[in-house]
């Protein structure tokens, strides 16, 4: 009978804890990247999160994307000081869909916005703050 009472008390504690957590469904934090490899983010001067605690959105990662392009290339003759000295000897069109690598990975010093996942086990890195990158 005592084991049943302990189980009931634990279930009630769990329910109360879950209720408290559900009343604050989203917590927004601000952090700064302190290490790139392995990735570490210092959150509001309180804690340092490691890679296993972070979920990265595409906004903060390198990724491939496909774009449609239509432009002309121009390759001029360069002088030793790097300035074009003659009309472009070569010109042709670039048309169609092309794959591009977008360089969005986080760098040391980047300030980021994070959202704490329900129950606080993981943090979603949403984006950078401000005009960096």
82-96 pLDDT, tens digit each: 666 666 566 778 889
pTM: 0.65
Query: Is 77 a residue whose pLDDT tops 60?
Result: yes
Please state whether 73 falls in left (phi above 0), alpha (psi between -120 and 50) or beta. Answer: beta
The domain ranges of the chain are 66-97
pLDDT in tens, 18-30: 776 666 667 899 9
Closest CA to 59 of 97, 115, 98: 115
Which residue is associated with the tokens 């986080």? 106
Q: 3-state class of 51 per DSSP? A: helix
């Amino acid at each position: 009978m005592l084991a049943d009472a302990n189980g009931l008390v634990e279930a009630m504690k769990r329910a109360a804890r879950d209720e408290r957590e559900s009343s604050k469904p989203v917590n927004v934090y601000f952090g700064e990247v302190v290490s790139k490899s392995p990735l570490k983010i210092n959150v509001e001067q309180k804690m340092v999160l490691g890679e296993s605690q972070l979920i990265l959105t595409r906004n903060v990662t390198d990724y491939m994307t496909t774009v449609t392009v239509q432009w002309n290339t121009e390759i001029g003759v360069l002088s030793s000081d790097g300035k074009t000295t003659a009309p472009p000897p070569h010109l042709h069109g670039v048309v169609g869909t092309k794959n591009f690598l977008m360089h969005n990975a986080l760098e040391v010093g980047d300030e980021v916005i994070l959202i704490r996942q329900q129950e606080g086990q993981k943090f979603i890195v949403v984006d950078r703050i401000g005009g960096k990158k």
